[in-house]
Amino acid sequence: MEFEREVDARGLSCPLPILRTKKMLAEMKPGQIVRVLATDPGSVKDFQAFAKQTGNELLSQSETADEAFEFFLKRK
Protein backbone atom coordinates (compact mmCIF):
# COMPACT_ATOMS: atom_id res chain seq x y z
CA MET A 1 0.00 0.00 0.00
CA GLU A 2 1.28 3.47 -0.82
CA PHE A 3 1.65 5.96 2.03
CA GLU A 4 2.86 9.52 2.53
CA ARG A 5 4.28 9.29 6.06
CA GLU A 6 5.59 6.65 8.45
CA VAL A 7 5.76 6.32 12.23
CA ASP A 8 8.28 3.81 13.58
CA ALA A 9 7.07 3.05 17.10
CA ARG A 10 8.82 -0.30 17.45
CA GLY A 11 10.07 -0.83 20.99
CA LEU A 12 7.69 1.75 22.45
CA SER A 13 4.96 0.92 24.92
CA CYS A 14 1.44 2.28 25.17
CA PRO A 15 0.52 5.11 24.81
CA LEU A 16 3.54 6.27 22.78
CA PRO A 17 2.64 4.58 19.45
CA ILE A 18 -0.77 6.28 19.52
CA LEU A 19 0.64 9.64 20.61
CA ARG A 20 3.27 9.67 17.86
CA THR A 21 0.67 8.70 15.28
CA LYS A 22 -1.73 11.38 16.50
CA LYS A 23 1.04 14.00 16.17
CA MET A 24 1.90 12.81 12.65
CA LEU A 25 -1.76 12.84 11.54
CA ALA A 26 -2.09 16.43 12.75
CA GLU A 27 0.65 17.42 10.27
CA MET A 28 -0.99 15.62 7.35
CA LYS A 29 -3.67 16.63 4.85
CA PRO A 30 -7.07 14.90 4.71
CA GLY A 31 -6.93 11.69 2.68
CA GLN A 32 -3.21 11.10 3.22
CA ILE A 33 -2.07 7.73 4.58
CA VAL A 34 0.37 7.01 7.39
CA ARG A 35 2.08 3.66 7.96
CA VAL A 36 2.74 2.76 11.59
CA LEU A 37 5.06 0.04 12.85
CA ALA A 38 4.70 -1.05 16.48
CA THR A 39 5.80 -4.01 18.61
CA ASP A 40 3.46 -3.47 21.57
CA PRO A 41 0.82 -6.25 21.41
CA GLY A 42 -1.72 -3.85 22.91
CA SER A 43 -1.37 -1.58 19.89
CA VAL A 44 -3.76 -3.78 17.88
CA LYS A 45 -6.73 -2.89 20.08
CA ASP A 46 -5.37 0.62 20.70
CA PHE A 47 -5.34 1.53 16.99
CA GLN A 48 -8.82 0.07 16.43
CA ALA A 49 -10.16 2.23 19.27
CA PHE A 50 -8.14 5.25 18.13
CA ALA A 51 -9.63 5.06 14.63
CA LYS A 52 -13.18 4.85 15.99
CA GLN A 53 -12.68 7.74 18.40
CA THR A 54 -10.96 10.09 15.97
CA GLY A 55 -12.75 9.28 12.72
CA ASN A 56 -9.50 8.43 10.96
CA GLU A 57 -9.87 5.26 8.89
CA LEU A 58 -7.89 2.15 9.81
CA LEU A 59 -7.30 0.78 6.32
CA SER A 60 -5.41 -2.35 7.35
CA GLN A 61 -3.49 -4.02 10.11
CA SER A 62 -1.17 -6.99 9.92
CA GLU A 63 1.84 -8.59 11.51
CA THR A 64 5.19 -8.34 9.73
CA ALA A 65 7.83 -11.06 9.39
CA ASP A 66 9.92 -9.42 12.13
CA GLU A 67 7.05 -9.66 14.65
CA ALA A 68 5.99 -6.04 14.39
CA PHE A 69 2.46 -4.84 13.82
CA GLU A 70 1.81 -2.74 10.73
CA PHE A 71 -1.08 -0.31 10.51
CA PHE A 72 -2.23 1.96 7.70
CA LEU A 73 -4.43 4.87 8.71
CA LYS A 74 -6.07 7.41 6.43
CA ARG A 75 -6.45 10.92 7.81
CA LYS A 76 -10.03 12.13 7.92
User: Which residues carry out catalysis?
Assistant: 14
* Long-range contacts of 18-26, Cβ-Cβ distance < 8 Å, separation of 24 or more: 18/43, 18/46, 18/47, 18/50, 21/47, 21/50, 21/71, 21/73, 22/50, 22/54, 25/54, 25/56, 25/73, 25/75
